[in-house]
Amino acid sequence: MDRDQDDCRARFQRWIEPLLEQAGAYAYSIVGNPPDAEDSVQEALWKGYRGMSGYDSSRPFKGWWFAILRNCCLDLLQSRSRQPRVLSEEEVGHRMACTNPQTEALRDSMASLAEPYREILRLRYFGGCSYRDLAESLSIPVGTVMSRLHAARQALAAEFAKE
């Protein structure tokens, strides 16, 4: 049983490792700052590892884990709304230094869209998800991914055209 647990852990680490940077970007697109994004990814790591027994290996792992990550990000946003994080001046300065204007403009434009469009665009652009991953993460068929992503892009293009 210990060997099974070690195998499971090694497998989980192998699958997670190439996803970490995209996970960081995706979490950032939701929570809006690197420290909270890091916290969300860490929480999702633990939850994903503990939930491995419930993962069906025939389904896309990235889509499965990013659904967990999204929930962790949303939970953190809820907790921040109840108890805001108070930052030191150094953290504020560091956060401002890390802010990319184009990235923030994209985040702001996405934030003004309807939730289904916002979610699929975040997963696609920040998370780098394929259509299969999108279908798994959002629990929708691939055909719906196609039509929703196209509609979301048109909505985002309209937002950008306003600027």
Partner 1 sequence: MGSIDPSELSASLDGELPAEACDRVRAALAADDSLRKQYEQLMALDAKWRSAASGAQFRPNVQLENPKSRIVPIAVLGCALLVVRLAIKAPPPAIGAAIDCVLLTLMVSWGFGRILRFAESDREQVRFSPQTGSVV
Nearer to partner 1, 28 or 67 (CB): 28
Is the separation of the CB atoms in 137 and 63 below 8 Å? yes
How large is the greatest C-alpha to C-alpha distance in the chain, in angstroms?
A: 59
Which residue of 4, 56, 90, 115 would you call a contact of partner 1, by CB under 8 A? 90
Check binding of 116 to partner 1 (CB under 8 A). no
Segment interacting with partner 1 (CB under 8 A) among 10-18, 56-64, 111-119:
10-18
Q: If binding is defined by CB under 8 A, does position 96 make contact with partner 1?
A: no
Structure tokens at 21: 């940077």
Residue 55 interacts with partner 1 (CB under 8 A): yes or no: no
Q: How far is the CB of 120 from partner 1 (least distance, A)?
A: 11
Token code pair at residue 137: 């993460």
CB of 1 to partner 1, least distance (A): 12
Q: Whats the size of the chain, residue-wise?
A: 163
93 binding partner 1? (CB under 8 A): no
- What would the two tokens of residue 22 be? 């995209």
Q: What are phi and psi of 111, to 5 degrees?
A: -65, -25
Which member of 11, 21, 111, 112 binds partner 1 (CB under 8 A)? 21
Q: How far apart, in Å, are the Cα atoms of 21 and each of 37, 130, 156?
A: 11, 16, 24
Please state, in angstroms and rounded to a whole number, the distance separating the CA atoms of residues 125 and 57.
25
CA-CA distance, 153 to 146, in Å (whole number)?
11
Q: Which is nearer to partner 1, 21 or 57 (CB)?
A: 21
Site residues for partner 1 per CB under 8 A = 2, 6, 9, 12-13, 16, 20-25, 27-29, 34, 37-38, 41-42, 45-46, 49, 79, 83, 85-91, 100, 102-103, 105-107, 121, 125-126, 130-131, 146-147, 149-151, 153, 156-157, 160
